[in-house]
Structure 1
Amino acid sequence: MRYQNLKSFLADGKAALAKGPVALIFAEDLSEVDTTIRHHRNLGFREVVLFAPAELELPAALEKTVHRVTQTTTSMAITTDTVNQIIDAAPGIWLYYCFNAEYLFFPFCETRTVGEMLAFHTEERRDAMLSYVIDLYAGDLSEAPNAVSLEDAHLDRSGYYAEARQDPDNENRPKDRQLNFHGGLRWRYEEHIPPARRKIDRIALFKAKPGLRLRDDHTFSDEEYNTFACPWHNNLTAAIASFRTAKALRANAGSRFEIDTFTWHNSVEFEWHSQQLMDLGLMEPGQWF
């Protein structure tokens, strides 16, 4: 079903937010919107809400599977405001947000649904899940000038690191169980990336509750939501395989002509399988076997 804007969706499409998990997909451009929808539908999300410009055309059969809201996503501020309004409308519901040409993976996602995974996560008394945004890029930019190619997708197998997240209220003490994670294209081409956009962690899966607010840096107003694990053991984490950074570096005039290829000695072909991401240490199964 189509909605003219977010206001009309919140007024007339509340049934889509009645039971989770719900995926919110923001189309920043027209690249791979259809595959993004199909991927997340296949993971088992009960509903998919697509925020996309009016000029996007989808196959009729695919469009019937989503709630489509006409919206042009031109900044993180727009995404943040939209997610926060959805939070207010869907208390108690598990939500997920991503952008087009991004693909969620979690441990054993080939045989288990996102609902099953979140049921286990909830049993561990967790209301949010850390996700690492893993940069994907085409191996041959002459064949894929926008750096997007599902058939020739590559990722970095190493070069990831974490640093303590400082507490602004206490310079001598980092925040408890919070880290800033770095790596991928944002690390290798950091001179083209604003400092505030260089980290790769995102709390992409979370349970909505009254008063909760998403911030522009992909963290939440409730600091426990921003932790990578509970105090007593490691928890599940997820990964979002994303062409978003590669697309931006190719679209930006300041970086496009300085980059002939994204591949380097630590590039490997992406196998589109959760086991590869676990083997590389890019997500954690925790106690879920």
Structure 2
Amino acid sequence: MRYASLGEFLDKAKPALAKGPLAIVFAEDPVEVDTTLRHHLTAGFTHLALLAPPSIPVPAELEAKIHRIDYDVHADEALVSAVNAISAAAPGIWIYYCYNAEYLFFPFCETRNVREMLAFHTEERRDAMLSYVVDLYADDLEAFPDAVSLDRAHLDKSGYYALGRPDAANHNHPRERQLDFFGGLRWRFEEHIPTPRRKIDRIALFRSKPDLVLRPDFTFSDEEYNTYACPWHHNITTAIVSFRTAKALRSNAGSRFDIHNFHWHNSTRFEWHSQQLMDLGLMEPGQWF
């Protein structure tokens, strides 16, 4: 169904807000919008909402399966504002958010769906899940000037690291079970990335509740939501493989002419399989086998 605004969606789409999991895709441009939608529908989300400018095309067969919302995704804090509005209107459901040309992977997603994973995560008394945003890029920028190619997608197989997250309210001591994660293109080309945007961690799956607020750095007002694991054992984490940084570096005039190739000695072809991400340490199955 098509909605002329986010307000109309919140007013009329009560079934989508009553039962999750709900996936929210923000389309900044037309690049791989259709594959992004197909990927997340296949993952098993009960509902999918696309927030995009009216000019972005979507195949008719996909529009019939989603909630399409006309939305200015380029406004200040557009994603944060929309996610918070939807979360407030739909307390108690699992919500996921991403941009176009981003694809959620979770352990064993080839044979299990996202509803099964979230049911297990809920049984472990967890209300949020950490995602690593793993940069994808085409291996040949002459053949693929926008750095996007699903068939020729590559990722960095090493170069990832974590730092303790300081707590300003506690003399900058590290927060318990919270880390800031770095790596990929945001690390290799950090001179072109503003400091606040260099992290690759995102709390992209969460269960909404009253007064919960998503912040611009993709963390939440409830600090327990920002932890990577519970106190007693490791939990599931997910990966969002994303062309977004590569696209930005290729479209921004300040970086486009400085970067001639994203490929380096630690590049490896992305196999579009969860096992590869687990083998590289970019995803954690926790106690889910």
Interval of TM-score (by shorter of Structure 1 and Structure 2)? over 0.9
Aligned-pair distance for 1:20? 0.6
Report the secondary structure of 1:177's partner residue.
strand
C-alpha separation in 1, matches of 2:80 and 2:172: 30
Q: Superposed, which structure 2 residues align to 1:154-233 within 5 Å? A: 154-233=154-233
C-alpha separation in 2, matches of 1:103 and 1:157: 18
Equivalent in the alignment of 1:52: 52
Report the secondary structure of 2:77's partner residue.
helix
C-alpha separation in 1, matches of 2:270 and 2:76: 27
Any gaps of 5 or more consecutive residues in structure 2? none
Residue deviations 1:114-172, cap 9 Å, x none?
00000000000000000000000001111111111001000000000000000011225
Equivalent in the alignment of 2:5: 5
What TM-score comes out, normalization by structure 1 length? Answer: 0.99
The AA in structure 2 aligned to 1:154 is: H
Residue deviations 1:190-217, cap 9 Å, x none?
0000000000000000000000000000
The AA in structure 1 aligned to 2:215 is: R
Report the secondary structure of 1:277's partner residue.
helix
Provide the aligned C-alpha RMSD in A: 0.7
C-alpha separation in 2, matches of 1:287 and 1:128: 16
C-alpha separation in 1, matches of 2:266 and 2:74: 32
Equivalent in the alignment of 1:143: 143
Q: Superposed, which structure 2 residues align to 1:47-86 within 5 Å? A: 47-75=47-75, 77-86=77-86
C-alpha separation in 2, matches of 1:211 and 1:87: 9
Any gaps of 5 or more consecutive residues in structure 1? none
Equivalent in the alignment of 2:268: 268
Report the secondary structure of 1:154's partner residue.
strand
Equivalent in the alignment of 2:112: 112
Residue deviations 1:257-284, cap 9 Å, x none?
0111100000000000000000000000
Report the secondary structure of 2:175's partner residue.
strand
Cα contact 1:128–1:207 (8 A) shared by 2: yes
Equivalent in the alignment of 2:245: 245
C-alpha separation in 2, matches of 1:76 and 1:152: 33
Report the secondary structure of 1:24's partner residue.
strand
What TM-score comes out, normalization by structure 2 length? Answer: 0.99
Aligned-pair distance for 1:107? 0.2
Cα contact 1:130–1:203 (8 A) shared by 2: yes
The AA in structure 1 aligned to 2:155 is: L
Aligned-pair distance for 1:75? 4.8
C-alpha separation in 1, matches of 2:227 and 2:100: 26
C-alpha separation in 2, matches of 1:172 and 1:89: 35
The AA in structure 2 aligned to 1:254 is: G
Residue deviations 1:198-253, cap 9 Å, x none?
00000000000000000000000000000000000000000000000000000110
Of 6-15 and 91-100, deviating more is 6-15
C-alpha separation in 2, matches of 1:223 and 1:76: 24
C-alpha separation in 2, matches of 1:99 and 1:53: 13
Cα contact 1:135–1:185 (8 A) shared by 2: yes
Aligned-pair distance for 1:3? 0.2
Aligned length: 289
C-alpha separation in 2, matches of 1:270 and 1:15: 36
The AA in structure 2 aligned to 1:204 is: A
Aligned-pair distance for 1:76? 6.0
The percent identity for this pair of structures is 68
Cα contact 1:76–1:216 (8 A) shared by 2: no
Equivalent in the alignment of 2:236: 236
Question: How has the CA–CA distance of structure 1 residues 91 and 266 changed in structure 2, closer, same or farther, with 3 Å as cutoff?
Answer: same
C-alpha separation in 1, matches of 2:152 and 2:72: 29
C-alpha separation in 2, matches of 1:232 and 1:75: 41
Equivalent in the alignment of 2:288: 288
